[in-house]
Structure 1
Amino acid sequence: MKKLALVAVVALLGLVVFAATQLTLFVIQPIGMLPEGRTVLILRGDKNLNFIDSADAICERVSGGVSLICRSAALSAAINDTKILLRMPYSATLYGISTGGREYDR
């Protein structure tokens, strides 16, 4: 019984490490082309993304602010050429986590 519990803990730890290093919950804020917004689980690959990220958060990190052009470029760079594993509804909570609690205009 102890061996089974140890195997389960090690497997769970491995799964958590894999998710934290290889997956991203990418939040797409409601915008004109996608008025209801979306949250997608994607493979991170070699992209410099956080576990919970958004186009607005990327713009803030890279350029120090958010603009429509930057938002579009960041969204395209994050989503294109990757595998979307799961599509979910928009999450304002995850968006807030990605931006450190800041909200930007649509």
Structure 2
Amino acid sequence: MKLNSKGITAIAAILAIAAYTQLTIFVVQPIGAIPEGKTIVMLRLNKTEFIDSPDAMCMRIQEGVNLLCRGMVMAAVVNKTKILARLPYMDWLYLISTGGKRFDR
């Protein structure tokens, strides 16, 4: 069976929708415990967004960011999901997750 451009486009759209609804790109900015930072591709949890970070989750949960919240979020995420890939830190993804805001490391 040969696919035409419409078939390839349809398959690409289905894969994109599946990735958007089933995966999270979780960005951990460089902090004391993780000085180089990390970008993690993982299965989505019910409280995570497609592009997310501990800081973004803390902003949603408690309208502020602090070390205790970051640590609790990171521990909960790591223990409750399956990590598919570990990548280097990507600052532009971190900024997407926080709406362009930076928080103290």
Instruction: Give the TM-score normalised by structure 2.
Output: 0.92
Return 5+ residue gaps in structure 1 as ranges: none
Which letter does structure 2 place at the counterpart of 1:85? Answer: L
Q: Give the stretch that moved more between structures: 29-38 or 71-80.
A: 71-80
Match of 2:94 in 1: 95
Contact 1:42 1:85 (C-alpha < 8 Å) held by counterparts: yes
Q: Which runs of 4+ in 1 moved over 3 A?
A: none
The equivalent of 2:20 in structure 1 is 20
- CA shift at 1:84, angstroms? 1.1
Match for 2:12: what amino acid?
L
Find the aligned partners of 2:67 and 2:78 in 1 and give their Cα distance: 16
Rounded to whole Å, the distance in 1 between the matches of 2:39 and 2:46 is: 17
User: Partners of 2:42 and 2:74 in 1: how far apart?
Assistant: 12
Count matched residues.
104
Shift of 1:3: 5.5
How far apart in 2 are the matches of 1:8 and 1:94?
A: 28
Equivalences for residues 1-106 of structure 1 within 5 A: 4-44=4-44, 46-106=45-105
List gaps (5 residues or longer) in structure 2: none
78-87 vs 33-42, which deviates more? Answer: 78-87
| Equivalent position SS for 2:27 | strand
Secondary structure (helix, strand or coil) at the match of 1:80 reads helix
Q: What is the DSSP-based 3-state SS (H/G/I as helix, E as strand, rest coil) of the residue aligned with 1:35?
A: coil
Identity among equivalent pairs (%): 48
| Matched residue type, 2:9 | V
